Structure 1
Amino acid sequence: MRNLITDVAGLKVGNATDLDLASGVTTVIFDEPTVASVDVRGGGPGTRETDLLAPDETVGAIHALTLSGGSAFGLDAAGGVMAALAERGLGFPVGDARVPIVPGAVLFDLINGGDKAWGRFSPYRELGYRAAQAAWEGGLDFALGTAGAGTGATTVDFKGGLGSASAVAPSGHTVGALVAVNACGTVNLNGGPHFRAAPFERNGEFGGLGLPYPLPPLPERPLLKGLPPGANTTIAIVATDAALTKAQCKRLAVMAHDGYAHAIWPVHSPLDGDTIFAAATGRRPLADPIFDLALIGDAVVRALARACARAIYEATALPQPGTLPAWRDRWSGG
């Protein structure tokens, strides 16, 4: 296994990264129309096509999911992914027409030092198109850290980034997580080298430091970026090869937010737009629709917590002057 979301059969991932812009796009392209849902817990989200993911809505499957920088401008990225899908004749059939279904979410990275003077139209549509092409060209392996949607991401104390992790649930189903961490808070304990998600770490994937002893108390006042609502946000996609309904995907997205809670503090604040999509590629049936889903949800929580830590561990500082240091700049990267 790659320890990436692409260990889940039936999907590919592509990044488009622009270091001058200090932003980028990440997309998940599904091999076949795929059941998905979403859960939004942050107070300042930026999303597209999330209403149709409700269990009672008509469209039963999607073709791709998009994570992007750029705040609301980044919602254009889904249009670029749609264009790439449409060129291949993919989409939801409406008579003779085909409409690719590409929900997405964005994070705020507009004041991180990158060149955002793009003129009349933002570059995110083109970045979305490039990300889709990258997924088809080699989308089982992809960069983490300062890449794709994580390019311009930050936390309160270290450079944010793109993270991913995977696991096999006790039910036998494979799960994976993909996350762009641009949190208002921190993924580390009190600004130090230790990650809050340390109890879930596998094979030294984010340094193997464990937790410090004795465990330091949390500060009375949490560390926060201090930016206005919507100027942060952690956005993620979790996936499994299980055969799930939209209602079960909704429950999986709800459970997955515990992965944020294990890795980021504080989380789900009015300053964040925390959003998680959950997708099921349907390759393996459930033996028990309740207990298997519980086991899959537990595995997703663990994988997402690990992915959040990997996002910071793998990140490198932006080339612009005065930007936040990366974790590995301060702690040597292990």
Structure 2
Amino acid sequence: MIPGPRNLITDVSGLRVGNAADSGLKSGCTVVTARAPFMASAHVMGGAPGTRETDLLAPDKSVSEVDALVLSGGSAYGLDACSGVVDGLRAAGRGYRVGDATVPIVPGAILFDLLNGGEKGWARNPYPTLGRAAFDAAGPDFALGTAGAGTGALTAMMKGGLGSASLVLPDGTTVGALAAANPLGAVTTPGDRHFYAAPFEIDGEFGGLGPDPASGLGRDMTSRKHTAFFERANTTIAIVATDAALTKPQCYRMAVAAHDGIARACVPAHSPGDGDLVFALSTGARPDTDAARDVTLIGHAAALCLTRAIARAVYEATPEDGDLLPCWSALNA
């Protein structure tokens, strides 16, 4: 398996991603959409999720396809970014048909970034406007790091961010991941130089430093300089995607498998204070491939992509005025 030409989730043909952010707010949102609805499901493993329309994505629920997926900062306020996306889809005549009515289906998930130093004293919720702007900006190329839903993200030790990665399977099937990395845990080993995800890195995509040569890397967690991270509300939210024609239950299994990617990249992961969630989608652009029947392989690739996407999110983060934590690049200059 090798990365796609962009090493982004948009290597899955037909997908588009849009970012919008407010630097003063230190927050933003990211939208994944396509020209046609796509199959989707989701799985939650964190103890504190914030979501919209995710019940609809369960394998037994009646609506199988959605028009967009949203990742947003802002905690509960950020769920309204989905409303801005709904407005954009409605204006485009997109949505689920119910008689003469059209209802855009836009599930979303949020991360907690309300205590990151940004200006949060708004009189009117800014997230519907950010959601619409992200939808309008959607395209095949998009920024990583301090961008979109990752604008105000923090990890235990440094700034988080928005990351993405892709893989092309031997038969040509493409799998990709998009992550807004704001975990309660650390993404780097003690010393803040080596990524936990390093064994899965491809072509130096997050620095090429390799794995930490030390052992016993879990023993130092409670003595690290930011031990207050155990008391914070955080979250890693992600989307994994493939062009293989998966059913809704198969998308669900893909989402379950992809959570391994969070656990490989973030230590600890899936805590009571995290809202860790993975959406999984299928565009169905390759309906007759063997990989469409091999959900194990696709789920494995999704987990690998998600591991790499989380590390790329932190690696690509850039400094901004008023930051509470440094970037990886500043710590390793």
1:1-334 equivalence runs, <5 A: 1-119=5-123, 121-135=124-138, 139-219=139-219, 221-222=221-222, 225-226=228-229, 228=231, 231-285=233-287, 287-288=289-290, 292-320=294-322, 323-332=324-333
Distance 2:318 2:291 in 1: 42
Q: Which whole-Å deviations, capped at 9, do the CAs of 1:180-218 have from their partners, x for residues lacking one?
A: 000001110114210111111111100000013244532
Deviation at 1:296, TM superposition (A): 1.0
Q: Is the 8 A contact 2:245 2:292 kept in 1?
A: no
Q: How has the CA–CA distance of structure 1 residues 171 and 39 changed in structure 2, closer, same or farther, with 3 Å as cutoff?
A: farther
**In the TM superposition, what is the alpha-carbon distance from 1:269 to its structure 2 partner?**
0.5
Paired AA for residue 309 in structure 2: A
Distance 1:200 1:286, change over 3 A: farther
How much does 1:220 deviate? 5.1
What is the CA–CA distance in structure 1 between the aligned matches of 2:98 and 2:64, rounded to whole Å?
13
Q: Matches of 1:217 and 1:228 in 2, distance apart? A: 21
Deviates most, 163-172 or 62-71: 163-172
The letter for the 1-side match of 2:143 is A
Deviation for aligned residue 1:295: 1.1
Unmatched segments (≥5 aa) in structure 1: none
Specify whether residues 18 and 66 from structure 1 end up closer, same or farther in structure 2 by C-alpha distance, changes over 3 A only: same
Q: CA RMSD in A?
A: 1.5
Give ranges in structure 2 of 5+ residues lacking alignment.
none
Is 2:244–2:283's contact at 8 Å kept on the other side of the alignment?
A: yes
Name the SS of the counterpart of 2:175 in structure 1: strand
CA contact (8 A) 1:156 1:185 kept: yes
Q: Distance in 2 between matches of 1:130 and 1:251?
A: 32
Q: Contact 1:170/1:295 (CA < 8 Å) preserved in 2?
A: no
The answer to whether the 8 Å contact 2:111/2:182 transfers is yes
How many Å separate the matches in 2 of 1:292 and 1:225? Answer: 42
**Cα gap change, 1:57/1:291 in structure 2, threshold over 3 Å: closer, same or farther?**
closer
Letter of the aligned partner of 1:299 in structure 2? A
| Residue identity opposite 1:282 in structure 2 | G
TM-score normalized by the length of structure 2: 0.94
Structure-2 separation of matches of 1:213 and 1:113 = 35
Between the aligned partners of 2:231 and 2:107, the Cα distance in structure 1 is 25
Are the structure 2 counterparts of residues 31 and 16 from structure 1 closer, same or farther at C-alpha, using a change threshold of 3 Å? same
User: Which is worse superposed, 125-134 or 27-36?
Assistant: 27-36
Specify the code of the residue in structure 1 equivalent to 2:136. Q
Residue 304 of structure 1: SS of its match in structure 2? helix
Which stretch of structure 1 is more off in the superposition, 252-261 or 287-296?
A: 287-296
Letter of the 1:116 counterpart: K
Q: CA deviation at 1:170?
A: 3.4
Change (3 A) 1:319 1:273: same
1:265-300 superposed Cα distances (whole Å, 9 cap, x missing partner): 000000100000000000112544786211111111
- Partner secondary structure for residue 250 of structure 1: helix
1:68–1:149 contact (8 Å) kept in structure 2: yes
% identical equivalent positions: 59
Q: Partner amino acid for 1:323?
A: L
Structure 1 residue matching 2:137: 3-state secondary structure: helix
- Structure 1 range deviating more: 257-266 or 208-217: 208-217
Distance of 2:216 and 2:39 partners within structure 1: 43
Query: Could you tell me whether the CA contact under 8 Å between 1:152 and 1:318 is conserved in 2?
Result: no
CA displacement 1:77-126 (0-9 Å, x = unmatched): 0000000000010000011110000000000001111111111x210000
Please state how far the C-alpha of 1:36 moved relative to its aligned partner.
Answer: 0.3
Q: CA deviation at 1:219?
A: 1.9
Structure 1 segments of 4+ aligned residues over 6 angstroms from their partners:
none
Is the partner of 1:93 in helix, strand or coil?
A: strand
Report the Cα offset of residue 221 of structure 1. Answer: 4.1
C-alpha contact 2:189 2:217 (8 A) present in aligned 1: no
Superposition TM-score, scaled by structure 1 size: 0.94
> SS state of the match for residue 248, structure 1?
helix
